[in-house]
Amino acid sequence: MKLKLTWLMTLFMALVMQFSFAQEKTVTGTVISEADGLPLPGVNVIVKGTTRGVQTDFDGNYTITANVGETLVFSFVSMKAVEIVVGTSNSINVSMQEDIAALEEVVVVGYSSQDKTKVSGAVSVVNAEAIEQVPLASFDQILQGQAPGVQISAGSGQPGASARVRIRGNGSINGSNDPLYIIDGIQVSAGDFAAINPNDFENISILKDASATAPYGSRGANGVIVVTTKKGAFGEKTRFTYRTQYGVSHVGNSRFDLMNSSQLLNFQKLVGRGTGASLSDAEIAELSQTNTNWEDYFFRTGQTVSHELAMTGGSEKSRFYSSISYFDQEGIADRSNLKRFTLRNNYEVRPNDKTKIGLNTLVAYAISDLIDSESSITLQNPYAAVYLASPYYTPYKEDGSYNTSNGNVGANALENLHVNGRENKQIRFVGSGFAERELFKNISARTDLGVDYSQDNTFRFADPSTYYGSITEPGFAGFYTEANSYYANITSTTRLMYENTFANKHNFTAGVFMEYVKTHARSSSFTGYGINPTLPGVPAGISEGTPENELIPSVGGSVTERGLFSYFGVANYDYDGRFGLDVSLRRDASSKFSDENQWGTFYSVAGRWNISNEAFLSGNRTINNLKLRASYGTSGNQNAVADFAYATEYGQTSYNGNTGIAFGRIGNEDLKWETSNQFNVGIDYDLFDYRLSGTVEYYNNKTTDLFVTYNLSQASSGVSSIQANAGSMRNAGVDVSLTGVLVRTNDFEFEVNGNFNYNKNEILDLGQVSQFEQGTSIIREGLPLGSHYIVKWAGVNPANGEPLYYDIDGNVTNVYSEANSVADFGSYNPVWTGGFGAKLKYKAFEVSTLFSFAADYYRFNNQTFFQENPNFAQYNLSTIMLDMWQQPGDITEVQSYLYNREFSSKDIEDASFTKWRNLTVAYNLPQRYIDSIGYITGLRVYAQGQNLYTWTKFTGFDPEDSNNIAQYEYPTPRIFTVGLDLKF
């Protein structure tokens, strides 16, 4: 009986094991990204409800043992988790989608990254997709219209020219209002961006309030733009990306019409000025046969070419990103180009769980051919000459030489453009390294050291055989000038961090920092005259200067050193993901101030309430994320004064032929920091399964101890002014951003987005005075910065054609007097700014577009003062002048030539605009075709247009500019490009 029972038990166990083995199987497969079809290494593959799991290898492959009916869970950072039940098949391939909610959950703030839901400050994020492959050489211009509260104005269409950037308005009257730029922890200047490849950027964080900028102290008073470059991924197979782009640039259409030869010559005869004044009707008719369109000679179709090869990858303990790029962009006029060569290497190694070491380097070489006087009203400026040149002149003589003469503006400028030269060569190195080590549990230390270094060589020359060379003084035989400079900004930051979680609900992080920023700059220049005609454009052509020939070269140079030393602390507390508190305290010492006022103390406090994490919203299907946050803090600005402005400056002078020493500047040892007091409250939301997302913020920033320039009597000191801390100013406004996914299916997605800023600026106090003039504007208590100040135009008297104006009391007068100037014409700083756009994806096709706008914004159009002025009839004029008053009863806005044309509010125009920035159409090769090719992992082709159209009432070249007075600036071109992105 015992033997029989043993036999039955053995048979039962065998059947059970046989059944078990029959259900267990080995499952293999590949995991890829649905967005680009690339394999995903490091994906966690776990049997649900167990601890059994594996990770995908470099090629996205995995192998796991599971039973039929069990569920495999595939999870990866920034991807939506996928669950698949094991069936009869031994192969399960998975395509993972990006998790929209997770894609933006990490934000770079200050010296660290932070979960988006735990950010208490005002931060806007622009990702790499928005800035890649935009055919603009300067990254700051690419940011236009991308974030609320960030106003960016392109000052020039010159390839590589930097833009004017303001974050939430101007915080200083006399000081710099530029934001701080940080790349991988290192401070750089706006001028760096012409030598940097934006395709290397991973994301951009724009820090706008005191809490967000607090870690940067006084350097961040005007906001901070933090750029993080690409780094690669640990455990990632090496991948390559090749990008190329080709495009053409065109000048846009002018918003005014010029006279033809017949119109201009007859007008000159009428007013008695210019060539036509002394010609007979027959002579005018003969000369009118020549009608030169100078645009055909000055403007060209520029070309843009770029090539880039990037490599990214990593091992278990290291990661890297390397790229090499070439960018060549021609401007829309000859001698207007930028060639840029860049090499970037980012490398990080983690030899063990407690240590991180990294090095990020950029080496760049840029060559810029530059236009003479590209933003001023001089006859050498080709963008002035092209419209001031008379159409009855020709550019060339019959023998092919330039038709230059004292009156031929067009040929003179054209010869200067083609023959003479101005070039800048720059070598730039931006490097940063760090070492981080966990010292004890929850305590780590880190040191960062970086440098932004540039070396520039600029030369300019005029050939003595050219018209402008022949009128050069002294010598009337051309000139050669050369300048050399270097700039080095060194940043060193050391920190000690503590991080811990208590009772699974209380998360606490604190850090102490010490930072040192040192700037070194040196420059030298010389200009020589009397150029040997066989050696133009080189120093060897300069004649030796003697007292007899008076060709004495001029020389110059400067040396600058300044430093900023800081120590500060930050602390962050989070309770259960529901409430958070961030505090910071910082002490800065600047060499710009005297010993008594070197130190400034600044702080910030910020709190947040993650409402969507509260129990009463648990399970709510409408609200995915809802967060209320507020902050208050202070920040200092040292960039309002020159280096060592507290000290009295002396310089050489000459009196009655004798050399002596005189005051160059009277110092003020009482100078101290300008202080910005910033309040911000905002709400962030994601609704309807992240289909609707946005932010609404209100801010109120008051700057105190503003630097104000007071006039002095020159009788005793010889110096006309002195600076003092005496003013205050406020910027208050609203930032709004909104993104809505209107349609989202497997094949089709349509998204719209928009942002705007409303900023009200007001000067509150000027100390001992209530107002003072600054150029064409008035600095007055109660008015915004940049308020135009000029005599008000009242029209033309139809009885006699004389110009009329308003006096200070509002009465019409025919007397022009600057004493009647008023400030009733708005400001050149816009009140409303923003951008909006849309993205559409259908299967393999993508279409995206972007617009930007500015409103309640006024500029002087100084071009009309020249183009609509009979006093300048020797140049070409606008056809508006054909409506000039000529007889009693004429109703017109163009006064008679018998009266002098004055600078008045007639020249102020509404410069509000909406600009179509970009349109991109792209095609991504479907995965099935990529698989059939085999040796590539992605292919994208696209076409795009940049600066396509501008809606505006402004009649100048471009309403958007960094200058409040339009002066024939380099026009912003339209750019059309096609490109290819290849991944393998």
pLDDT tens, residue by residue, 107-125: 777 777 777 888 888 999 8
Rounded CA gap, 893 and 911, in Å?
20
Are 122 and 208 in contact by the 8 Å Cβ rule? The answer is yes
Sheet holding 123-127, edge to edge: 123-127, 201-207, 224-229, 180-183, 186-188
Q: pLDDT tens digit string along 555-591?
A: 999 999 999 999 999 999 999 999 999 999 999 999 8
Are 549 and 560 in contact by the 8 Å Cβ rule? The answer is no
What stretches of 43-176 show up as alpha helix (H) in DSSP? 100-103, 139-142
What stretches of 192-274 show up as alpha helix (H) in DSSP? 210-213, 261-271
The answer, yes or no, to whether residue 407 has pLDDT greater than 50, is yes
Confidence of residue 655 (pLDDT cuts 50, 70, 90): low
Instruction: Assign 333 to helix, strand or coil.
Output: coil
Rounded CA gap, 575 and 607, in Å?
11
pLDDT at position 667, please?
75
Are 297 and 397 in contact by the 8 Å Cβ rule? The answer is no
Looking at every residue in the chain, the average pLDDT score rounds to 89
What percentage of the chain carries pLDDT values higher than 90? 63
pLDDT at position 657, please?
59
Confidence of residue 718 (pLDDT cuts 50, 70, 90): low
pLDDT at position 927, please?
84
Cα distances from 162 to residues 247, 335, 805, 908, in angstroms, run 21, 18, 39, 25
Which residue type is seen at 670?
D
Token duo for residue 188: 């750089």
Which residue type is seen at 376?
S
Beta-bridge mates of residue 396: 402
Instruction: Assign 568 to helix, strand or coil.
Output: strand
Average pLDDT over residues 150-157: 84
pLDDT at position 9, please?
45
Are 736 and 756 in contact by the 8 Å Cβ rule? The answer is yes
The answer, yes or no, to whether residue 983 has pLDDT greater than 70, is yes
**Stated length of the chain:** 984
Question: Which value, to the nearest 10 degrees, does the dihedral of the CA atoms of residues 952, 954, 958, 964 take?
Answer: -130
pLDDT at position 707, please?
85
More confident residue, 709 or 304: 304
pLDDT at position 77, please?
66
Q: pLDDT tens digit string along 309-354?
A: 999 999 889 999 999 999 999 999 888 999 999 999 999 999 998 9
pLDDT at position 19, please?
39
Q: pLDDT tens digit string along 219-273?
A: 888 999 999 999 988 888 899 999 999 999 999 888 889 999 999 999 999 999 9
Q: pLDDT tens digit string along 443-496?
A: 999 999 999 999 999 999 999 999 999 999 999 999 999 999 999 999 999 999
Residue 90 DSSP label:
S
Q: What is this structure's pTM?
A: 0.85
Are 649 and 664 in contact by the 8 Å Cβ rule? The answer is yes
Which residue type is seen at 949?
Y
Q: Residue 150, CB half-sphere, CA atoms under 13 Å: how many?
A: 30
Instruction: Assign 714 to helix, strand or coil.
Output: helix
Confidence of residue 10 (pLDDT cuts 50, 70, 90): very low
Rounded CA gap, 231 and 322, in Å?
9
Confidence of residue 654 (pLDDT cuts 50, 70, 90): low
Of 19, 44, 15, residue with least CA distance to 31: 44
pLDDT at position 482, please?
96
pLDDT at position 88, please?
84
Cα distances from 644 to residues 176, 562, 592, 664, in angstroms, run 16, 9, 4, 13
Rounded CA gap, 697 and 759, in Å?
12
CA 671 to chain centre: 31
The answer, yes or no, to whether residue 15 has pLDDT greater than 70, is no
CA 542 to chain centre: 40
The answer, yes or no, to whether residue 629 has pLDDT greater than 80, is yes
What percentage of the chain carries pLDDT values higher than 70? 93
The answer, yes or no, to whether residue 198 has pLDDT greater than 70, is yes
Of 524, 534, 528, residue with least CA distance to 546: 528
Rounded CA gap, 322 and 346, in Å?
6
Rounded CA gap, 566 and 516, in Å?
6
pLDDT at position 479, please?
96
Confidence of residue 663 (pLDDT cuts 50, 70, 90): low
Of 108, 208, 169, residue with least CA distance to 680: 208
Please report the DSSP string for 797-835 in residue order: -TTT--EEEE-TTS-EES---GGG-B--S-BSS-SEEEE
Which residue type is seen at 852?
S
Q: pLDDT tens digit string along 798-848?
A: 999 999 999 999 999 999 999 999 999 999 999 999 999 999 999 999 999
pLDDT at position 5, please?
43
Contacts of the segment 870-873: beta carbons below 8 A, 24+ positions apart: 870/267, 870/271, 870/273, 870/897, 870/901, 871/273, 871/897, 871/900, 871/901, 872/388, 873/264, 873/267, 873/268, 873/271, 873/273, 873/274, 873/897
pLDDT at position 653, please?
66
pLDDT at position 36, please?
65
Pairing type for strands 82-85 and 53-55 reads unpaired
The answer, yes or no, to whether residue 135 has pLDDT greater than 90, is no
Rounded CA gap, 827 and 912, in Å?
11
Rounded CA gap, 914 and 884, in Å?
32
Rounded CA gap, 282 and 262, in Å?
11
pLDDT at position 7, please?
44
- Kind and range of the H or E run holding 22: helix 2-23
Beta-bridge mates of residue 603: 585
Instruction: Assign 334 to helix, strand or coil.
Output: coil
Give the largest Cα separation in the chain, rounded. Answer: 142
Pairing type for strands 623-637 and 71-75 reads unpaired
The answer, yes or no, to whether residue 884 has pLDDT greater than 90, is yes
pLDDT at position 725, please?
85
Rounded CA gap, 152 and 145, in Å?
8
Are 101 and 689 in contact by the 8 Å Cβ rule? The answer is no
Contacts of the segment 622-627: beta carbons below 8 A, 24+ positions apart: 622/687, 622/688, 623/685, 623/686, 623/687, 624/101, 624/686, 624/687, 624/688, 624/689, 624/690, 625/101, 625/117, 625/684, 625/685, 625/686, 626/683, 626/684, 626/685, 626/686, 627/117, 627/683, 627/684, 627/685
Residue 492 DSSP label:
E
pLDDT at position 22, please?
43
pLDDT at position 457, please?
96
Report the b/e string of 612-639 with b at 16+ CB within 10 A: bbeeeeeeeeeebbbbebbbbbbbbbbb
